[in-house]
Each structure stands twice: as structure tokens, then as C-alpha cells.
């Protein structure tokens, strides 16, 4: 198990999403960003738990 945790520590984890350039100036932009962050929440919790970090 320690080996797997060490593998996680050596990686960089990023998240990307498709977005139209025009959406940046949209009235819905803030909600869209909040929704995208919320969608990544479970993944971030998993990574932090695997590395025994506070989340």
C-alpha cells in the first residue's frame, strides 16, 4: 500500500473543462465555475485522503 501512496505523491493531477471563450463574460460564468469545482470535489477528497492530508 505504501508504494501506491508514493506513486500518488509523484504525480501531478490537473482538471480541465471545455468552455467557450464567450462564456467568460456570461452572466452564468460564476455558477459554471462553481459547478465545475463542485464536480471535482470528490476527486480532491480522494487524493487528500490517500495522501493523509487535510481537506
Query: What angle separates helix 2-9 from helix 29-50, to the nearest 10 degrees?
Result: 140
Q: pTM here?
A: 0.61
The pLDDT value recorded for residue 38 is 94
pLDDT of residue 14: 80
Q: How many CB atoms are closer than 10 A to CB 35?
A: 11
Q: What is the pLDDT of residue 25?
A: 94
pLDDT in tens, the chain (55 residues): 566 777 767 777 788 888 899 999 999 999 999 999 999 998 889 888 888 889 8
33: part of which helix (H) or strand (E)?
A: helix 29-50
Number of Cβ atoms within 10 Å of the Cβ of 29: 13
Residue 9: closest CA among 53, 55, 51: 51
* 47 within 8 A of 13, measured Cβ to Cβ: yes
Amino acid at each position: 500500500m505504501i508504494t501506491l501512496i508514493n506513486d500518488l505523491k509523484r504525480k501531478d493531477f490537473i482538471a480541465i473543462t471545455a468552455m467557450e471563450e464567450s462564456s467568460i463574460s456570461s452572466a452564468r460564468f460564476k455558477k459554471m465555475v462553481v459547478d465545475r469545482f463542485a464536480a471535482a470535489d470528490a476527486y480532491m477528497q480522494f487524493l487528500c485522503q490517500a495522501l493523509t492530508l487535510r481537506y
